[in-house]
Amino acid sequence: MRTGWADTERRDVRPTEQAPYAARRRAALSVMFPGERLIVPSGKLKVRSNDSHYPFRPYSAYVHLTGDQARDSAAVFEPREGGDGHDIHLYLLPRDSRDTDEFWTGMTSELWMGRRRSLAESELLLGLPCRDIRDAAAELSATPGTPTRIVRGHDPALEAAVTTDAERDAELEEALSGLRLVKDDWEIGELCKAVDSTVRGFTDVVRELATAIATSERWIEGTFFRRARLEGNAVGYGSICAAGAHATIMHWEQNDGPVRPGELLLLDAGVETHTLYTADVTRTLPISGTFAPLQRQIYDAVYEAQEAGIAAVKPGAAYRDFHDAAQRYMAGKLVEWGLLEGDPERVFELGLQRRFTMAGTGHMLGLDVHDCAAARTETYVGGVLEPGMVLTVEPGLYFQPDDLTVPEEYRGIGVRIEDDILVTADGTENLSAGLPRSADEVEAWMASPAGA
């Protein structure tokens, strides 16, 4: 069994389109940590049960710095003598040899899980020197005097091989997260692809609404997932397919409820590209095709709040501005409807509207759906918008079914509208503008043969 196999080494591998962009991202990280060794692991397979594993998802900062998605890998920045930059290499798991028992019996070997790249192939593909990860612990521990930082929580063996300080490691994670706040042109292109696939996934759902009515929210989840797997890697987060009162549950992912005409369907879903960039879009649709008067009243308020939010997104604006603009608008509406009392500005300042708006109005978007979450407060939530940032604007109003403070007809209605907004040099571009947004547009879309 161990002999008689062809040489399958690929010698025609070309660098990824992303390789020069990844090189610039590494250079930007390098200048932040002169004289220090940096270790950014990709992560390990997670056991689901016995010899079954969850689908592997590499740590986003590793993907950002390398363009690679391999498990059991790490990017290592070795400081050059004299503090002048870093020599950067990857540790990777090379191909299995059929000469080993591991190839035949190890449940994570190529025989069982598919071909990996050789180290030489990885060098051609990624444009970096590549070494065997199985040598990493010995090589890293051989120079204990090198000041080192590692991102914790992804590779216990590498963490054990080096001596680091938790606070300084957290600063590395923070820096990696902050490095992703402004997307380069290639990343923006990937996010456009993610959004375009997502638009097609939403259209699939509208086309198949009759089957969903005859079955359940699961049909909607499956319909969107099919598009995500066909055109991308997967969904970027668990799809929220929330019909009726489920729409008032912020992250309803069970998706096992009925889909009833006369109610609303809140669909929050995003395709993740093959390169792992995700969209994050929400539309709230009248299942029968037209909004009832109260549904439309609430929908229109959320739409106007979103308009106010999007208008507040611009380079130089405080990150919090779009959130405040949308929240202020909804506070005014809730007072106008008699659901909250007092001066609308005071209601907004006290945050009383949050009983019905629940969540923040948006977040950064990229390799992670809630991207850059570890970035420093000063550069993210306390920071200023810059061209190249991509964020969601997603106001919502949610009236819980058991909220006795609102008239009965409001209870169980939830509306969110979420779009993916690119900050440009002079304003914004709505990347998800391909989906109808106003109530009239949504109704027309659902009635049109193209949509339905």
Q: Residue 221, interface with ligand GLY (CB under 6 A)?
A: no
Q: How far is the CB of 266 from Mn ion (least distance, A)?
A: 10
Q: Residue 368, interface with ligand GLY (CB under 6 A)?
A: no
Nearer to ligand GLY, 158 or 269 (CB): 269
Q: How far is the CB of 280 from ligand GLY (least distance, A)?
A: 5
| Cα distance between residue 358 and residue 414, in whole Å | 11
Rounded to 10 degrees, the C-alpha dihedral 325/330/336/338 comes to: -140
Q: Residue 187, interface with ligand GLY (CB under 6 A)?
A: no
Contact (CB, 8 A) for 286 and 300: no
Amino acid present at 44: K
Helices (H), 353-438: 354-357
Nearer to ligand GLY, 67 or 236 (CB): 236
Q: Residue 68, interface with ligand GLY (CB under 6 A)?
A: no
| Cα distance between residue 114 and residue 100, in whole Å | 16
Nearest position to ligand GLY, beta carbon: 268
SS3 240: strand
Looking at residue 6, what DSSP letter applies? -
Interacting residues with ligand GLY between 232 and 261 (CB under 6 A): 237
In the chain, what are the helix, strand and coil shares in percent, each to the nearest 5? Answer: 40, 15, 45
| Cα distance between residue 142 and residue 147, in whole Å | 13
Looking at residue 245, what DSSP letter applies? G
Q: How far is the CB of 224 from ligand GLY (least distance, A)?
A: 12
Nearer to ligand GLY, 155 or 418 (CB): 418
Rounded to 10 degrees, the C-alpha dihedral 21/26/31/32 comes to: 110
Nearer to ligand GLY, 259 or 417 (CB): 417
Q: Pick the binder of ligand GLY from 72, 307, 418, 420 (CB under 6 A).
A: 418
Q: Give the gyration radius of the chain's Cα atoms.
A: 25
Q: How far is the CB of 359 from ligand GLY (least distance, A)?
A: 7
Q: How far is the CB of 180 from ligand GLY (least distance, A)?
A: 17
| Cα distance between residue 120 and residue 109, in whole Å | 19
Contact (CB, 8 A) for 433 and 419: yes
Euclidean distance between the first and the last CA atom of the chain, given in angstroms as a whole number:
55
**Count residues contacting ligand GLY (CB under 6 A)?**
6
Q: How far is the CB of 235 from ligand GLY (least distance, A)?
A: 10
Q: Which residues bind Mn ion (CB under 5 A)?
A: 268, 280, 392, 394, 418
Residue 237 interacting entry, from Mn ion, ligand GLY, none, C-beta within 5 to 8 Å by type: ligand GLY
Q: Pick the binder of ligand GLY from 394, 413, 417, 419 (CB under 6 A).
A: 394
Q: Residue 173, interface with ligand GLY (CB under 6 A)?
A: no
Q: Pick the binder of ligand GLY from 221, 263, 280, 420 (CB under 6 A).
A: 280
Residues near ligand GLY (CB under 6 A): 237, 268, 280, 369, 394, 418
